[in-house]
Amino acid sequence: MAEFILRRILQAILVLFAMTVLVFFGIHVIGNPVDLFASSECTKACLDAIMVNLGLDRPVWQQYLIFLGNLAEGDLGRSFTHGVPAMSLIWERFPATLELAVAALVLAVGVGLPAGFYAGLRPDSWISKTIMGLSMIGFSVPIFWIGLIMILTFSVYLGWLPAIGRGDLVTVFGVRVSFLTLDGLRHLAMPAFTLSLLMMSMVIRLTRAGLREVMTSDYIRFARANGVPEYRILGWHAMKNLLIPIVTVLGMEFGGVIAFAVVTESIFSWPGVGKMLIDAISVLDRPLIVAYLIFVVTMFVLLNLVIDILYSLLDPRVRLGAGAV
């Protein structure tokens, strides 16, 4: 295990280095950020002074070497528009995105797992066919359309739920959260459900397909022949094998939800890192964009490591030794 984790850390360093090259040089060929956020009354001398102050007057390769030196010290630069360290802005917005992503994951598992289990046990019933038909919505319908329809239905026409914002917040261990207040839950409901639809559909289909395959396995027949109760067969033997692909898929999807919740956060004006990224791109805030992308890559690498470890715990046949990749 130690060898596996060390190898993954080395791989992560290489991936991060490659990502810094692609992102840094890619973002520097797209326009001049000074032209976007400088005042229209700023003269050429004023623009040149801003360029010098931000370090944009140097060649790109020199800027990159300075960036790498700062990165080695844990400094990802200061936001051009906010004038504060880029990572401080990300950490300030990250709890909102994490709260939204966790709520979406809970909904996806809480609804998708029982629904897929029922569809797998009774595949020919009309309820199962309805479940499988509805699961196609998560794959087929664009997220922005679902979000807009939910706003029109539950906010505009019915007036049940607020359309934008995060609602009332409370502080828990220094972190501002909304799910512990009634108003916060009302604000969280629609964006969390919208964000969960794709994961929910995946869980339903994976659970149904996995259960249909597992229930015909020899060890299930052997357990039944030995008089093992059906609830134990389903709740232990079948579920343990079902969780292997579900954990793998949900782990990666959870990372994707955190990293790319841009559309949902924009529709519902949710103050997370996704909306912050859109704002940063609109003004070419290079340090903030680069810091966000490096943060996302690091998160995916760590999630991959956690998923591999969980996979080995769920399936004893998997070994994370020298043969692991």
In Å, the largest CA–CA distance within the chain is 87
The whole-number pLDDT of residue 152 equals 92
Confidence of residue 324 (pLDDT cuts 50, 70, 90): very low
Contact 178, 185 (CB under 8 A): yes
Confidence of residue 67 (pLDDT cuts 50, 70, 90): confident
Residue 205 has pLDDT above 80, yes or no: yes
Q: What is the mean pLDDT of the chain?
A: 79
Strand partners, 78: 85
Question: Measured between alpha carbons, how far is residue 164 from residues 93, 147, 266, 267 in Å?
Answer: 16, 11, 9, 8
Calpha distance 105→126 (Å, rounded): 27
pLDDT in tens, 135-152: 888 778 888 888 889 899
Calpha distance 236→254 (Å, rounded): 25
Residue 113 has pLDDT above 80, yes or no: yes
Q: Is 159 left (phi over 0), alpha (psi -120 to 50) or beta?
A: left
Residue scoring higher pLDDT (56 or 303): 303
Residue 296 has pLDDT above 50, yes or no: yes
Residue 259 burial (CB < 10 Å; 0-12/13-18/19+)? buried
Confidence of residue 311 (pLDDT cuts 50, 70, 90): low
The whole-number pLDDT of residue 178 equals 84
The whole-number pLDDT of residue 37 equals 62
The whole-number pLDDT of residue 325 equals 42
The whole-number pLDDT of residue 237 equals 67
The whole-number pLDDT of residue 313 equals 66
The amino acid occupying position 244 is: I
The amino acid occupying position 70 is: N
Question: Measured between alpha carbons, how far is residue 212 from residues 161, 238, 270, 273 in Å?
Answer: 38, 10, 39, 40
